[in-house]
């Protein structure tokens, strides 16, 4: 699968560097999907990185610049008028409105409770945990996913197994599945 399948990345996903790094590498050409976000999502990402994760401001700014440079087509605008029609959690209505405006079918988020099925159904959008999405990508393109994980591991000076153990803190089923695949 090589596609421009549109996927909105919530701030909680973008702020998690290990998860975001893998998802963004899989979105580089030949891409498995097209990641999307809004200015509000990017602002929330930066705020989370600095205030909650302790990133230095210059690193958070560098992350934002790199995102914008690598994926200039990913920034969604003009969605604000849709927010009043969204019925999901009020603090995340901007995320759903971004997905509606961009015609994305998927929102990747760790906060599934903020995106109840009944609020998404009228728009034919689903919210998926990053772990489940990555498991799906692995089933479709196992070699591509493993190549990216191998590249990340090498850059970090880790074995693939150690990198998967690190990812397992946030994506336990994904990491376990890939570790099992490596041992078989």
Give 69-137 as a 3 state SS string: HHCHHHECCCCHHHHHHCCCCHHHHHHHHHHHHHCCCEEECCCHHHCCHHHHHHHCCEEECHHHHHHHH
- Is the peptide bond preceding residue 30 cis, with omega within 30 degrees of 0? yes
Whether residue 27 contacts residue 35, with contact meaning beta carbons closer than 8 Å, is answered with yes
pLDDT at 2 over 70: no
Residue 4 is predicted with a pLDDT of 76
SS3 category, 63: helix
- Is residue 11 predicted with pLDDT exceeding 70? yes
- The angle subtended at Cα 172 by Cα 145 and Cα 67, nearest 5°, is 50
Q: Which residue from 109, 145, 87 is spatially nearest to 36, judged by alpha carbons?
A: 109
CA atoms within 13 A on the CB side of 88: 29
Question: Would you give the DSSP letter of residue 48?
Answer: I
With beta carbons less than 8 A apart as the criterion, state whether 97 and 50 touch.
no
- C-alpha 27/C-alpha 95 separation (Å) is 19
Q: What 8-state DSSP symbol labels residue 32? A: S
- 88: tokens are 């999901």
Residue keyed to tokens 């489940």: 132
C-alpha to C-alpha distance for 100 and 85, rounded to whole angstroms: 10
Domains of the chain: 6-128 (3.40.50.1010), 134-183 (no CATH)
Q: For residue 67, give both structure tokens.
A: 């995102």
pLDDT 10s digits, 92-133: 999 999 999 999 999 999 999 999 999 999 999 999 999 999
pLDDT (tens digit per residue) in 29-49: 889 999 999 999 999 999 999
Instruction: Check residue 107 and give its pLDDT.
Output: 98
pLDDT score at 30: 85
């Amino acid at each position: 699968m090589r596609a421009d399948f549109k996927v909105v990345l919530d701030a909680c996903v973008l702020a998690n560097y290990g998860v975001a790094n893998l998802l963004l590498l899989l979105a580089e050409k030949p891409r498995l999907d097209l990641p999307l976000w809004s200015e509000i999502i990017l602002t929330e990402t930066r705020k989370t990185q600095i205030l909650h994760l302790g990133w230095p401001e210059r690193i958070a700014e560098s992350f934002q610049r790199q995102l914008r440079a690598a994926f200039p087509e990913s920034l969604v605008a003009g969605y604000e008028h849709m927010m009043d029609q969204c019925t999901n959690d009020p603090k995340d209505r901007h995320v759903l409105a971004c997905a509606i405006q961009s015609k994305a079918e998927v929102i990747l988020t760790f906060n599934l409770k903020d995106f109840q099925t009944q609020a998404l159904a009228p728009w034919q959008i689903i919210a998926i945990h990053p772990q489940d999405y990555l498991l799906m990508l692995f089933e479709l393109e196992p070699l591509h996913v493993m190549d990216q994980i191998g590249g990340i591991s090498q850059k970090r000076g880790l074995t693939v197994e150690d990198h998967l153990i690190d990812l397992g803190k946030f994506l336990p089923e994904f990491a376990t599945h890939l570790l099992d695949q490596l041992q078989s």
